[in-house]
Amino acid sequence: MKENLKVVGHNAVRLDILEKVTGTSEYTDDIPFGPNLLHMAVLGSPYAHAEIISIDTTEAKKLPGVKAVITGEDYPEKFGLYLKDKSIFPVDRVRQVGEQVAGVIAVSYEIAKAAVKLIKVEYKELPVILDPYDSVKEGAVLIHPDLGNYEIEPWLEAQPGTNIGHLRRIRKGDIEKGFAEAEYIVEGEYHIPHVAHTCIETHISVSKFSLDGRLTMWNSTQSPHTQRHIMAQSLGMAHKDIRVIAPPIGGGFGGKAGISMEVMAAAGAKSCPGHPVKLRWTREEEFYNSSQRTGLRNKVKIGFRKNGKIIAFKHEMFWDVGASAEYGSNVVNATGFSATGPYYIPNVYIDSHACYTNNPTCSAYRGFGYSEFSFGIESTMDKAARIMGIDAVELRRINAIKEGEGVAYDVPMNPNGLVECIDKVAEEIGWGIEEKSDDSNKIIAKGFASVWKAPAMPANESSSAFIKFSEDGSINILVSGMDLGQGFITAMAKIAAEVLGLTLDKVRVELPDTDRNPYEWQTVASHVTWSCGNAVKRAAIDAKSKILDTVQRAHFIDKSQLYLEDNGVKCTTQDSFFIPFSDFVINGIQTEHNTWVGGPILGSGMFMPEYTNAMVDPDTGLGGNPMVHYTVGAGAVTVEIDKETGRMKVLKMAEAFDLGKAINPDLSKDQIVGGFVQGLGTALWEECIFDEKGRMLNDGFTDYKIPTIVDVPRDMNPILVEVPQPDGPYGARGHSEHTMIPVMPAVANAVANGLGVRISDVPVTSEKVAMRMNDPKYREEM
């Protein structure tokens, strides 16, 4: 790819930084809705698993200021992204603590809260399941007895009569033969707890059902079109009559993907027509009811030849998806296809189970399951390296998957720079170079991991874009991808500017509004730069062709001699020829006869991968092509560990990802740093802790610690590798989620390398390190 790029690939200040830094970004809660605004509060279940015997709302309805009280009797509809197992409000039973059983809409939040306390619910407690291993035990109480009757995507495999919402199997090659041929077999068993997204902005929806039958929603969301679609289905409305507006969002990380509390706000609005109704989660509700990251119990078994080559790989995953698998089922699916890590392996056996439990519902979280399963794989790889006497980084080089080699479902791997990522991270972290602490009580150790991730999407996900010119030659790009802070709008602006010869100050990208902006599936899966970027590029090419056509017809210069640069049209054969866009993109070009040629310039573009196929053989996972491509990378940490207290300090990190082409290198590096630090929280501290009744014991920032500005390494080294993606805009593929994935195993591997203690259950807390340091049960021979 030898293009002389003027905007793409060059650094720029993000286009929305001024509005962020001046506090003028109008987040959903900042929009004035006037005195007609009503407030909604919900009643959450105190039980993790219980039948609902009766709900009495009489007293709540009598409280002055209360406009409506709603329950599952009013809104029993099931909804969900992939598996419709969730109710707006449940009618039969509650399946997690905090599950909403009723909502109150009132003139103030205080009154709504007071009325919630007057609702009387009679429950009958049921046995509680909190661990995925218990969920799949013979005779376990069924959390969804109606699983067989739910609407489900055709590519998911629910197991009615069990607690398994979906089972993805991979059977590639001959696993028995593979292990029989292995000279070394290394195993491990791992546990990953639930963690929380903790966007600083909690979930919020303001919904208005107007008397002419329109539903308008202002949602803090990553998925405006998907929300509109689900809303249309569950409320029985036409898509055109529902308008979802996505104001700036205060953090997403997957937690605001799909749909959750917004359905309740819509139900509240439908009960009080003519009023906007605001539902905003408290921080506690955010922990319980905005979805968490899937928990995982997994067993990894890897067979190696003497030379370090992996010959057989078995991975059994029992995912704790919580009370609903409406979205989590796809985490289980995506990881079922990919839980080998970025290695070429001829014989693969994977079972990925979506286990219902009575923990909070889990859905998308940055990394979409790959952080969780990679912990086990990368820990086992390090164990194996030690046993075989092969350097841990070298072992990863030996097995790194190359372009054309078959992935777990036996489709050729895309072009990738995995070995380059491994080499650059090893060099930056000083792999193999011993470091000593100035403090004799402390040791310094390094840990490494290499990872991959593919976007997890329906096979026919799609993006589209409109570009419209204004009189001064500036453009507005209408797309429905969301800027979550990752720099989406800056990337889209640069792609369009590159094609159209515009300077960035001439470009504005509009946030989603489903009435006005064209379709986008969702801003998830680290796929919008690739997918929506392709749509924007095509829209820009469409606009460009209309511009060239106009100039050709007005000036009788062949299109092939015209090009766009410096906010106008130039000619390869006449140096002095230049028509600024502002001269003609709306009003056209005047001819010698005083007639006009042209008109307002518009461009449209769409993109859908046309080679994907999710319909695989359920027994083997083979026969389809469920993923568009994998992004690969590696990460490493240098950790200082106190030999007495186990206290750890990550001194340095390096991470490299092959993002195909960095549209904006600065912002891409920022994604690596931000994702690393989010991963560091999950590696060292973060864990949702539940008591035996399924109540969360740390539903606030005091007890659920996320990294502060003091906790982060002082030496962070993001590295970009660019092996172009053949179908990506300018070669780009996504990498924002991936940056979290190496951190948990890199930290655990550093601890094992430094102290010879293997921590197989994250977080790798100082307490665990101190308690297990001298316990032979956790010993890993050095």
User: Which of 74, 77, 666, 761 touches other proteins by CB under 8 A?
Assistant: 666
Shortest reach from residue 23's CB to other proteins, in Å: 3
Q: Contact between 98 and other proteins (CB under 8 A)?
A: no
Describe the crossing of helices 262-271 and 224-235 by its angle, rounded to 10 degrees: 50
d(CA 242, CA 39): 21
Question: What does the per-residue mask of binding to other proteins show for 32-71, with x meaning CB under 8 A?
Answer: x---------------------------------------
Q: Contact between 433 and other proteins (CB under 8 A)?
A: no
C-alpha count within 13 angstroms, C-beta hemisphere, residue 372: 33
267 touches 381 (CB < 8 A): no
Question: What does the per-residue mask of binding to other proteins show for 603-642, with x meaning CB under 8 A?
Answer: ----------------------------------------
d(CA 270, CA 287): 26
d(CA 69, CA 105): 6
320 touches 355 (CB < 8 A): yes
Helix and strand counts by DSSP (H, E) for the chain: 17, 32
- Amino acid identity at 320: D
89 touches 80 (CB < 8 A): no
CB burial readout 709-739, b (16+ within 10 A) else e: eeebbeebbbbbbbbbbebbbbbbbbbbbbb
Q: Contact between 487 and other proteins (CB under 8 A)?
A: yes
d(CA 101, CA 55): 9
Is the four-CA dihedral 80, 243, 291, 339 of positive or negative sign?
positive
Nearer to other proteins, 32 or 139 (CB): 32
Q: Contact between 505 and other proteins (CB under 8 A)?
A: no
User: Which of 29, 134, 153, 391 touches other proteins by CB under 8 A?
Assistant: 29
- Amino acid identity at 522: Q
- Amino acid identity at 609: P
Longest C-alpha distance within the chain, in Å?
A: 94
State which of positions 708-737 bind other proteins (CB under 8 A): 708-710, 712, 716
Q: Contact between 13 and other proteins (CB under 8 A)?
A: yes
Q: Contact between 4 and other proteins (CB under 8 A)?
A: no
Q: Contact between 23 and other proteins (CB under 8 A)?
A: yes
Q: Contact between 95 and other proteins (CB under 8 A)?
A: no
Nearer to other proteins, 278 or 733 (CB): 278
Nearer to other proteins, 677 or 764 (CB): 677
Q: Contact between 27 and other proteins (CB under 8 A)?
A: yes
* Short-list 354, 360, 369, CA closest to 158: 354
User: Which of 1, 18, 615, 689 touches other proteins by CB under 8 A?
Assistant: 18
Q: Contact between 552 and other proteins (CB under 8 A)?
A: no
Describe the crossing of helices 743-755 and 665-684 by its angle, rounded to 10 degrees: 60
Structure tokens at 263: 């359905």
Of 127-135, 369-377, 410-418, 480-488, the window that binds other proteins (rule: CB under 8 A) is 480-488
Q: Contact between 236 and other proteins (CB under 8 A)?
A: no
Shortest reach from residue 33's CB to other proteins, in Å: 11
Q: Contact between 485 and other proteins (CB under 8 A)?
A: yes
> Beta strand 507-510 with 562-565: parallel, antiparallel or unpaired?
unpaired
Structure tokens at 362: 């889990």
Tokens 């057989």 -> residue: 312
Nearer to other proteins, 408 or 425 (CB): 425
d(CA 82, CA 751): 39
Q: Contact between 238 and other proteins (CB under 8 A)?
A: no
Question: What does the per-residue mask of binding to other proteins show for 187-216, with x meaning CB under 8 A?
Answer: ----------xxxxxx--------------
Can you say how many angstroms the Cα of residue 585 is from the centroid of all Cα atoms in its chain?
Answer: 39
**Which residues are CB-contacts of 176 (< 8 A; sequence separation ≥ 6)?**
none
Shortest reach from residue 264's CB to other proteins, in Å: 19
C-alpha count within 13 angstroms, C-beta hemisphere, residue 744: 35
User: Which of 623, 701, 726, 771 touches other proteins by CB under 8 A?
Assistant: 701
Nearer to other proteins, 90 or 707 (CB): 707
Tokens 């689900």 -> residue: 230
d(CA 529, CA 483): 11
Nearer to other proteins, 6 or 705 (CB): 705
Shortest reach from residue 446's CB to other proteins, in Å: 20
d(CA 196, CA 780): 31
Shortest reach from residue 671's CB to other proteins, in Å: 9
Q: Contact between 511 and other proteins (CB under 8 A)?
A: no
Q: Contact between 177 and other proteins (CB under 8 A)?
A: no
Shortest reach from residue 482's CB to other proteins, in Å: 10
# chain residues binding other proteins, by CB under 8 A: 55
User: Which of 7, 16, 195, 461 touches other proteins by CB under 8 A?
Assistant: 16
Which secondary structure element, helix H or strand E, spans residue 217, and what is its range?
Answer: strand 215-219
Shortest reach from residue 676's CB to other proteins, in Å: 6
Nearer to other proteins, 518 or 674 (CB): 674
d(CA 689, CA 694): 9
User: Which of 1, 5, 20, 146 touches other proteins by CB under 8 A?
Assistant: 20
Beta strands in 454-586 (DSSP E): 463-469, 475-478, 507-510, 562-565, 568-571, 578-580
Burial class of 111 by CB neighbour count within 10 A (0 to 12, 13 to 18, 19+)? buried
Of 65-73, 128-136, 158-166, 700-708, the window that binds other proteins (rule: CB under 8 A) is 700-708
State which of positions 240-299 bind other proteins (CB under 8 A): 248-253, 280, 282-283
Q: Contact between 234 and other proteins (CB under 8 A)?
A: no
Shortest reach from residue 435's CB to other proteins, in Å: 21
Q: Contact between 697 and other proteins (CB under 8 A)?
A: no
Query: What is the spatial order of strands in the sheet that 215-219 belongs to?
Result: 66-71, 100-106, 38-44, 276-280, 204-209, 215-219, 242-245
Nearer to other proteins, 44 or 674 (CB): 674
Shortest reach from residue 755's CB to other proteins, in Å: 27
Nearer to other proteins, 202 or 760 (CB): 202
Shortest reach from residue 679's CB to other proteins, in Å: 10
Give backbone dihedrals phi and psi of 120, rounded to 5 degrees, phi first.
Answer: -110, 125
Of 411-419, 425-433, 701-709, 761-769, the window that binds other proteins (rule: CB under 8 A) is 701-709
Q: Give the SS3 label for residue 743.
A: helix
Shortest reach from residue 497's CB to other proteins, in Å: 18
**Residues constituting the chain:** 782
Shortest reach from residue 237's CB to other proteins, in Å: 31
Q: Contact between 698 and other proteins (CB under 8 A)?
A: no
**Interface contacts to other proteins, rule CB under 8 A:** 13-14, 16-27, 29-30, 32, 197-202, 248-253, 280, 282-283, 484-487, 666-667, 670, 673-678, 700-702, 706-710, 712, 716
